[in-house]
Structure 1
């Protein structure tokens, strides 16, 4: 079989820790928690020394960027199981350092995209989560099926942590939905799009439902005061938010310290504005304008003109 690597990768540093070409075709995906909020570069860096005796095929950093550590054609040393690693694409995901080893939304969304990509390139139309070790290991996947497995089945470990373990059914459903998307150009909504009714995107516990039909989601929001409709990316689609008037405060100009690398920059003061695709990085920045807006206590406009940031993650100096 001819193997390929994902085009989603933004960094490559190949590890010497692998067993050469696989002896089994790919029909499993094994996601892991890396136990640390690491960058994709740092994940690869964990496996550069031969003395480590460990590796993975891909790493997903805390900002959602993806790295290649061991090519898909080769068996990584990741799951404490030769048999599993021979047939699985293994993925180390940035996470918190203690149970339940929570992963942020950027990591989880990239995991979904990477799994979709792996399935597509390996000719799979479904990703299955059977939620049982014996059932899974005794299951013979059909030619168009990919199966999820976990490290804890092969070693005395919590990996991938209870946060991700509890979401593997959701992961399999989202990936399978993406794989079954209709591509007919008729203007129908993608079958994978779900509209969620919540108070805010970050408050998943307030969710009243997820709907494929937007009009049904709107009715649910209308019937519950304070609720909005969000698309799969967390953008408000109903009610349409009026753009806040951006009136600069008198003599607004001050510096802030940012200590996280992946703070999003948005096109306007609120999560209802699109992301610019850029991050601030750590450092000191000048704010020239403030505004109230969705998703943060206060938003600040960067002097550079790059856009707006949530001041909840900035310390005034």
Structure 2
């Protein structure tokens, strides 16, 4: 049995409380509630005390940070069941201190992301929530299945609390969709980007089922590893120039030359119908990998994960693998730089290495990076607040005469309330819609707009006022 640990880990303090190497392969995940809004450090300290006599493989703290306390190869002491812990990855999640022991949104989202990562590294394509204790414990999953279990089945405890217990089915569906690249309605998920370099400046990305734009997903992934906003922004500016942050992007000149779409090319590579992926010299993916050896490494990495060559999460992990193993100097610059331009130039000349490295190109890529910096680190909060306040004022002033917005992206969710913490109704097609109310809410820096149809709310981040 081969085991690995999650690259999502941001803090490590290994507990002495475990039983050594597992005697069973990993085919279960058991989420727990901590019963307290802990930090990764405080949970690690607790698990290290000689008096505790308990541990978990991972913990997710109140800010969504992942701690590693028992390596996945070892059996933790977490579920009051040796048999369960031998085959389960156990995850303690920060929660409220009383029933229903609710998780913060950031904790729940990180739990889903960590489950996806655990499944992928263990070769699983489906996460199951059967719900019934006896049926679950007697079920023998097939090699591509992972099963959710809960602590309350093995002890007189509420764990993981009613809040999480009521969402176990939703968690299983969410993770399975992500593992297979599907949207909530079962169709293939896509990210929005312009078809031509000249169009990228006005590109918008959809608020997908994670509740986050693709840009924010990439930003948070890199920030967790780099910890320097200048470094992350400089790197993202280069990715944006290369692919528009679209993970299934085929180099535009080849798309036109061959008369094939990004999705069609990706499907043919995935299905094995196109055998020239390694040698066709066409740039592909977030970083527009072109040289045969790098494309071969990407292809093999995707195959090991059992995911599409265009999978966003896989490509981010591959980028990080490339950077740490082959470009440590670039990583060092990203971590220590004090300007976006410094990182942008380093990534351009030492990682991406396009044919055109002129001052015009350097300046443009740095400008892209500055936009990401301002969006997520600079004056983003103040700008977003002003934008929300302006929109709210406009809506209040025009309540008797509603205004129009144009939805600019595919796969924008209609939600039951003003925020990503509300349920999804369906996708709204691009077009012009009447808005009758605007409110602030989680997941949109420009606020949420209520549709005149009464069907629900949409994020104004992806709309243009008519």
TM over 0.5: yes
Q: Give the equivalent residue in structure 2 for 1:229.
A: 458
Is 1:67 aligned with 2:67?
Answer: yes
Distance 1:215-1:131 versus aligned 2 partners, 3 A rule: farther
1:222-268 CA distance string (max 9 Å, x none): 443594324xxxxx4454479xxxxxxxxxxxxxxxxxxxxxxxxxx
Superposed, which structure 2 residues align to 1:154-165 within 5 Å? 154-165=154-165
Distance 1:228-1:29 versus aligned 2 partners, 3 A rule: same
Q: Give the equivalent residue in structure 2 for 1:176.
A: 176
Q: Give the equivalent residue in structure 2 for 1:196.
A: 414
Distance 1:174-1:217 versus aligned 2 partners, 3 A rule: farther
C-alpha separation between the residues in 2 aligned to 1:212 and 1:125? 25
Q: Give the strand-richer structure, 1 or 2.
A: 1
Native 8 Å contact 2:116 2:179 kept in 1? yes
Native 8 Å contact 1:95 1:103 kept in 2? yes
Distance 1:78-1:227 versus aligned 2 partners, 3 A rule: same
1:262-281 CA distance string (max 9 Å, x none): xxxxxxxxxxxxxxxxxxxx
Q: Give the helix-richer structure, 1 or 2.
A: 2
C-alpha separation between the residues in 2 aligned to 1:13 and 1:71? 10
Distance 1:77-1:229 versus aligned 2 partners, 3 A rule: same
Distance 1:226-1:172 versus aligned 2 partners, 3 A rule: closer
Q: Give the equivalent residue in structure 1 for 2:425.
A: 210
Q: Give the equivalent residue in structure 2 for 1:42.
A: 42
C-alpha separation between the residues in 2 aligned to 1:128 and 1:72? 20
C-alpha separation between the residues in 1 aligned to 2:91 and 2:35? 13
Q: Give the equivalent residue in structure 1 for 2:21.
A: 21
Q: Which runs of 4+ in 1 moved over 2 A?
A: 182-194, 196-199, 209-228, 236-242
Native 8 Å contact 2:29 2:89 kept in 1? yes
1:171-196 CA distance string (max 9 Å, x none): 00010000001675455699997723
Superposed, which structure 2 residues align to 1:272-291 within 5 Å? none
Distance 1:2-1:228 versus aligned 2 partners, 3 A rule: same
Distance 1:219-1:169 versus aligned 2 partners, 3 A rule: farther
Q: Give the equivalent residue in structure 1 for 2:11.
A: 11
Point out where structure 1 has 5 or more consecutive residues left out of the alignment. Answer: 231-235, 243-317
Native 8 Å contact 2:75 2:86 kept in 1? yes
Larger radius of gyration: 2
Find the residue that maps to 1:100 and give its secondary structure.
coil
Q: Give the equivalent residue in structure 1 for 2:443.
A: none
Task: Report deviation, 1:59.
Answer: 0.4
Native 8 Å contact 2:119 2:146 kept in 1? yes
Distance 1:216-1:117 versus aligned 2 partners, 3 A rule: farther
Task: Report deviation, 1:203.
Answer: 6.4
Question: TM-score scaled by structure 1?
Answer: 0.67
Question: TM-score scaled by structure 2?
Answer: 0.46
Distance 1:117-1:70 versus aligned 2 partners, 3 A rule: same
Superposition RMSD on alpha carbons, in Å? 2.9
Q: Give the equivalent residue in structure 2 for 1:123.
A: 123
Native 8 Å contact 2:28 2:147 kept in 1? yes
C-alpha separation between the residues in 1 aligned to 2:432 and 2:92? 35
C-alpha separation between the residues in 2 aligned to 1:78 and 1:72? 13
Q: Give the equivalent residue in structure 1 for 2:108.
A: 108
Distance 1:95-1:190 versus aligned 2 partners, 3 A rule: same
Distance 1:216-1:74 versus aligned 2 partners, 3 A rule: farther
Native 8 Å contact 1:218 1:238 kept in 2? no
Find the residue that maps to 2:44 and give its secondary structure.
helix
Superposed, which structure 2 residues align to 1:139-150 within 5 Å? 139-150=139-150
Native 8 Å contact 2:451 2:458 kept in 1? no
